[in-house]
A and B are shown apart, each in its own frame.
Chain A
Amino acid sequence: MRYLDEFRDPVLAKRLVAQIRRSARRSWTIMEVCGGQTHGLLRYAIDVELEGVVHLVHGPGCPVCVTPLESIDFAQRLALQPGVLVTSFGDMLRVPGPHGSLLELKARGANVRVVYSPLDAVDLARRYPDYQIVFFAVGFETTAPATALAVLQAASENLTNFSLLVAHVRVQPAMEALASMPDSRVQGFLAAGHVCTITGYASYEAFVERYQLPVVVTGFEPLDLLHGIWACVRQLEVGSAQVENCYRRSVRREGNLRAQQLVGQVYQICDRPWRGWGIIPGGGLQLRPEWREFDAEVRFASLLESVVNEPSECRSADVLAGRIKPTECPAFAVRCTPDRPLGAPMVSSEGACAAYFRYRTACTWCDSLRDSAVADDRLRTTAQRVREDTAAASVRRGYHER
């Protein structure tokens, strides 16, 4: 596929790995912000290839993972109402809530449907005028233009049976929270390429000034990731802290102004609780007052309830802040698997726990890097470490044999 294959060239990937290893005179800790990048890094074994030179910590960039349990609980109560149909992306519907996941509720008769786009939910509202269609709007700045567009389309067609349960989050406030944590080990950031496609990266200029940490806007394919890491390492080696754009084919400094305008028309910035983190100032988006009629929390206010308790065993907050690797969570691959997840990071296609389960407990290496004897050896040592807990290993084997 054009614009994918060019960025998966195994020969260049290897040379970039070599270059990074050469450039680094010590080991650097770099956080990739976006969960999509986490999956890319693990899928292509880049973390393993760079072991000892670049320590990659995985960031909070999985919107599903940070959606508060209260919102999931509310969505579940909505789905159980007669005449209400709750829609969202598949990942969101699989996250365990207080009464199982939304898809499990569906199996018990609740009205839940996976959609590919929020605009498909608007389409459902057109087709089923007798149903109240609620779209559970999760996602970072990347997704907000799509949900804003859904509201604008519904408004332009006077669809009174469409509403949004808004759980949108913003990346930069979370990066600020991370950078100010006293125990933060992060020395540089790979900023999320598709978030920056919308927002641009001008706002990171003040960030790097303030925290003196380099920020490199990075894409998602193996060469993009390696290119971003290389740029970050180069900056770290010379003690520089600047914003650099390594995803130029999609990201411009000012971002996508048309998308920003749509988002600004429909949403305003608000403080928002992040699951496991507490309230992040400016960490979310909410509908502007003039669009309140499209707010499911207003339309179904009577169903809103108070605090829901987190399952105590899940260490997702530590995973999302890069404090521990998923494999350090005692439940990982033992009591928590993608089939029976305890926490959101094991569910989402961007969750770090799911990435480790998928790429570090099974030998699904990318062909491009598989031929490297050293890489195989490194996988073995990583895999051995992953399997230290023998009980976990046997559960995992059981899982794969099924």
Chain B
Amino acid sequence: MCLGIPGKVVRWLCREGVAAAAEIEFESVRRVCHMACVPEAEEGDYVIVHAGIAISRIDPQEVVRFQEELANSKLHDEWPLTETAGGELP
């Protein structure tokens, strides 16, 4: 129920108060979403949409930081261990 889907702000339709709305592009569909909670988003930004309203603007810098963090931390590659053979799936 708390599903949130990222989408790209294609075009603002109205920036006024509770009626604020923008056209958002998801994988292959465009939908008008309500934008009252994310007035700072600009066209080209990505937002997370839940139940027809945008609830946050995705911070691209944080995405880069996340990727760098994973890339820089010394992650181990040794798992899965090799000794266990897979079985036929039931």
Chain A residues within CB distance 8 Å of chain B = 1-4, 6, 12, 14-19, 21-22, 34-36, 61-64, 89, 91, 116-120, 138-140, 142-143, 145-146, 149, 152-153, 156, 192-195, 197-198, 220, 223, 227, 248-251, 256, 258-259, 262, 348-350, 363, 372-377, 379-380, 383-384, 387
Contact = CB atoms under 8 A, between A and B. Distances in A.
B9 interface: no
B52 A36 contact: no
Contact of A149 (B1, B36, B48): B36
Contact of A34 (B2, B75, B89): B2
Contacts of B55: 142, 145, 194, 197-198, 250, 256, 259
A157 to B, nearest CB: 10
Interface residues of B, number: 47
A197 B53 CA distance: 13
B31 to A, nearest CB: 9
A368 B36 CA distance: 37
Contact of A197 (B4, B6, B65): B4
Nearest to B50: A142
Interface of B is mostly: loop
A197 B63 CA distance: 15
Nearest to B26: A1
Interface of B: 1-4, 6, 8, 18-19, 26-27, 34, 36-39, 46, 48, 50-53, 55-56, 58-60, 62-63, 65-67, 70, 73, 75-81, 84-90
Contact of A194 (B8, B19, B48): B48
Contact of B34 (A119, A138, A139, A194): A119
A118 B51 CA distance: 7
Given A6-B67, A376-B87, A258 B37 contact: yes
A68 B40 CA distance: 37
Nearest to B80: A374
A120 B52 contact: yes
A10 to B, nearest CB: 12
B84 A373 contact: yes
Given A118-B51, A138-B1, A194-B50, 8 more contacts: A6-B63, A6-B67, A118-B52, A119-B34, A145-B37, A194-B3, A348-B1, A363-B89
Given A22-B76, A198-B55, A248 B62 contact: yes
Contact of B36 (A64, A193, A248, A258): A258
B46 A2 contact: yes
A376 B75 contact: no
A3 B1 contact: no
A376 B86 contact: yes
Contacts of B19: 153, 156
B29 to A, nearest CB: 11
Given A119-B52, A380-B90, A89 B80 contact: no
A253 B39 CA distance: 19
Contact of A250 (B36, B48, B81, B88): B48
B46 to A, nearest CB: 6
Nearest to A63: B1
Nearest to B31: A116
Nearest to B84: A374
A146 B89 contact: no
Contacts of A149: 18, 34, 36, 53
A118 B18 CA distance: 13
A142 B4 contact: yes
